[in-house]
């Protein structure tokens, strides 16, 4: 990693995880394999912030640790990239196992449980699905009918979240991700 850390992908240690490496990597990994409209790639860092904002609308009373788990839902992609869902299913259990170990190490590093509680995991799935629908139709060229069939029609679309769908420059995505991480983890020591 740029921090100088060496991360073992098969047996990741929480001590080798740095939030700056995560923010740097996620800001440079493109969603939808980079096949999105706009002058900049729509990054996983921006997607993570978008999903966290959607989750906050769905569960307004969600405490900061839960919101932090939502923000970090794709954090493992800072080292393994964002693989589209159809390819993940072809790759199978090996990819899922590596992703789960990385996610657990990240969560432990930031003071969260290795895996999110069931209610948080469900919220993440719901918010991620809304984000995927909106990204697909607004950025990735899907028709609404096609997105309805693949993702299901989203249950919400607050107007104030539309700003998340304009791709940001890499540096902006990285700094916004780091800032939000620090806001949500202010009461914790790392």
pLDDT given for residue 190 in this prediction = 42
Three-state DSSP state, 2 = coil
Q: How far apart are CA 172 and CA 149, in angstroms?
A: 33
pTM: 0.94
Q: What is the pLDDT of residues 98-111, one digit of tens each?
A: 999 999 999 999 99
Q: How far apart are CA 4 and CA 22, in angstroms?
A: 13
Banded pLDDT at 189 (limits 50, 70, 90)? very low
Q: What is the pLDDT of residues 115-157, one digit of tens each?
A: 999 999 999 999 999 999 999 999 999 999 999 999 888 877 6
Closest C-alpha to 49, from 186, 167, 149, 189? 167
Q: How far apart are CA 32 and CA 102, in angstroms?
A: 21
Banded pLDDT at 188 (limits 50, 70, 90)? low
Fold that domain 14-187 belongs to in CATH:
Hypothetical protein af1432 (1.10.3210)
């Amino acid at each position: 990693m740029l921090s100088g850390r060496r991360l073992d992908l098969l047996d990741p240690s929480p001590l080798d995880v740095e939030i700056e490496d995560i923010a740097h990597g996620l800001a440079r990994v493109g969603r939808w394999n980079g096949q999105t409209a706009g002058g900049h790639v729509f990054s996983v860092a921006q997607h993570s912030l978008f999903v966290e904002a959607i989750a906050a609308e769905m569960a307004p009373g969600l405490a900061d640790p839960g919101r932090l788990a939502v923000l970090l839902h794709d954090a493992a992609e800072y080292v393994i990239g964002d693989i589209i869902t159809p390819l993940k299913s072809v790759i199978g259990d090996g990819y899922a196992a590596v992703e789960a170990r990385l996610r657990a190490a990240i969560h432990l590093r930031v003071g969260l449980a290795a895996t999110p509680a069931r209610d948080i995991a469900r919220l993440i799935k719901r918010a991620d699905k809304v984000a995927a629908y909106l990204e697909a139709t607004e950025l990735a060229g899907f028709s609404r009918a096609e997105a309805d069939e693949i993702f299901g029609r989203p249950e919400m679309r607050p107007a104030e979240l539309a700003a998340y769908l304009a791709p940001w420059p890499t540096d902006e995505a990285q700094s916004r991700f780091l800032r939000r991480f620090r806001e949500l983890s202010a009461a914790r020591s790392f």
